[in-house]
Amino acid sequence: MNRLYNYHDHKEELVKQILQQKDSINITKNIPKSLQEDYKIARTLDNYLEDYFKIHSKSKLISNLDKEIDKILDKFIKEVIDGLDQEKDKFRKGSNTKNKKFKNIFEFAKSENFYLSNIYTRFISENLGHKLEDIANLSNNVYIPDKELNINIKGIDLIIYDQGLIKYTQLKTKKDTLTGSQKDRSITELSIHPHSIFAAAFNMGNSLTISKKSVKNYNIELFVGDSFWSLINLDYDLILNKIAKAIKLLDKKLYS
């Protein structure tokens, strides 16, 4: 297998080589059929990441982390306001439509605030999840294949380089984001990798749906809040306070 880092400066060729070389990967017996392609791509990608992190883990340092986080959150605020303005317009236009099917009693009652409140919360939470990945990606120990190569690996949001090990990571917003029925799927998705992490960006919510006991035999590590951000050398309190400030600003703009 050729060293994939030789194609680092040519992303299209790098992706082409990954997709070609993945078929030389042997599938172990414990890999579910639904994850075999993801396993092959990940093990091929490891070949590239070993070199990438050794070379870039020091050169990717962000000189002004504070401003970079602000840029990400400014984009977050703009996307949320633009998106929710569209939802508000859609509601108002729909209110004047006759013989329509209603989603709930709030829409039937033409109660704009009640109807939109659930949409607001869901829209903001989903967008924030992506922005947390963007903030994590500022770290010199993080790689996101979806952003860098447009390669998606099931259940993996980012990859962390920790003490010489490549760790495939699933990142949720808070501890209880997963429902009980989603827990087994997450464990299965993470367990196909030699080293993996389940992380919650905020130390909020009830206890982790995934317990230490349930991941004991899979080399899956659990990180929450400060322990996650410290792992990738970023300041949890700085990030938390900046996000809180952005949420307050959205609250003022949306409800004033």
Structural domain boundaries in the chain: 4-56+141-232, 67-134+241-255
pLDDT of residue 7: 92
pTM score, two decimals? 0.91
Our measurement of the distance from residue 81's CA atom to the centroid of its chain's CA atoms, rounded to an integer in Å, reads 21
Phi-psi region of 96 (alpha: psi -120 to 50; beta: other; left: phi over 0): alpha
pLDDT of residue 91: 85
pLDDT of residue 216: 84
What is the C-alpha separation between 4 and 24, in angstroms, rounded?
14
Average pLDDT of the residues in 85-104: 81
Average pLDDT of the residues in 142-158: 96
Retrieve residue 109's tokens: 């009652």
Radius of gyration of the CA atoms of the chain, in A: 21
Q: 142 and 168 in contact (C-beta within 8 Å)?
A: no
Retrieve residue 210's tokens: 């995934």
Structure confidence by residue, pLDDT tens digits, 193-209: 999 999 999 999 888 88
Average pLDDT of the residues in 240-253: 94
User: Does the pLDDT of residue 39 top 80, yes or no?
Assistant: yes
Query: Mean pLDDT for the chain?
Result: 91
Amino acid at site 48: Y
At the topology level, CATH places domain 4-56+141-232 in type ii restriction endonuclease, domain 2 (3.40.1560)
What is the C-alpha separation between 118 and 57, in angstroms, rounded?
41
